[in-house]
A = this chain, B = another copy of it.
Amino acid sequence: MRYELFYWPTIQGRGEFVRLALEEAAAPYVDVARSKAGMKRMQAILDDPRLARPPFAPPFLKAGRMLVAQTANILLFIGERHGLAPRDCAGRLFVHQLQLTLADLVAEVHDAHHPIASSLYYEDQRREARRRTGHLLDERVPKFLRYCERVLAATPRARWIAGARLSYADLSLFQVVAGLSYAYPRAMQRLAPRHPRVMDVAARVAARPRVAAYLASPRRIAFNEDGIFRHYRALDL
């Protein structure tokens, strides 16, 4: 079976967490909206009033007749099917907990350049964005990174954030570090040395053969100023 991933075709965004998991799992998939007439198909699903289990928004994943939406929920599904999460209940829930925690940070990063409304341009909320990003980089990003560092430090012999085996939470941690480093290079230069274990996990994810091949391929969309992690010089403190 080939998965169909539905997500905005020109950004990494939230879809990137799903792409990374599918790539690491070597699971066959089509990135539908990047193919011809793909956007139309995505919109048709979003608008179909007869759908019993519709998605609220992209990303969503079609697996046979199943349609699964919400990034963390898609990863819960893929993680179980492709060995990207522990099999035992406690381990499986902890990986999901880490994913939801990273998702909270991702939402905060988005809101830092759109503190008033997603429907307005960044240019229409620039002053508020500067204020909010100050708090994000002074308080929130350090708190999230410190938390991940603490989890890694608590089980020193574990290679990955949730134990001996790589999970989708490691892939997502890599993506968050990559995004923060793109958006806030100056802030991250200051923060990285204080979180050596986090940086090490991110580097080891990037070096995994399938991830490395993906990152070097045209399937990896470059970071840009339409996505969640945006580089605006004025915001990088």
Chain A contacts to B: CB under 8 angstroms: 49-56, 66, 68-70, 72-73, 76-77, 89-90, 93-94, 96-97, 100-101, 104, 107, 111, 115-117, 119-120, 128, 131-132, 135, 139, 144, 147, 150-151, 153-155
Contact = CB atoms under 8 A, between A and B. Distances in A.
Number of copies: 2
B154 A54 contact: yes
A73 B49 contact: no
A187 to B, nearest CB: 16
B154 A101 contact: no
Q: Please provide the 10 A-B residue pairs with the shortest distance between their CB atoms, ordered closest to farther.
A: A117-B135, A70-B100, A56-B101, A70-B97, A53-B94, A115-B115, A73-B97, A52-B154, A116-B132, A116-B131
Contacts of A66: 89-90, 93
Given A50-B154, A94-B53, A128 B116 contact: yes
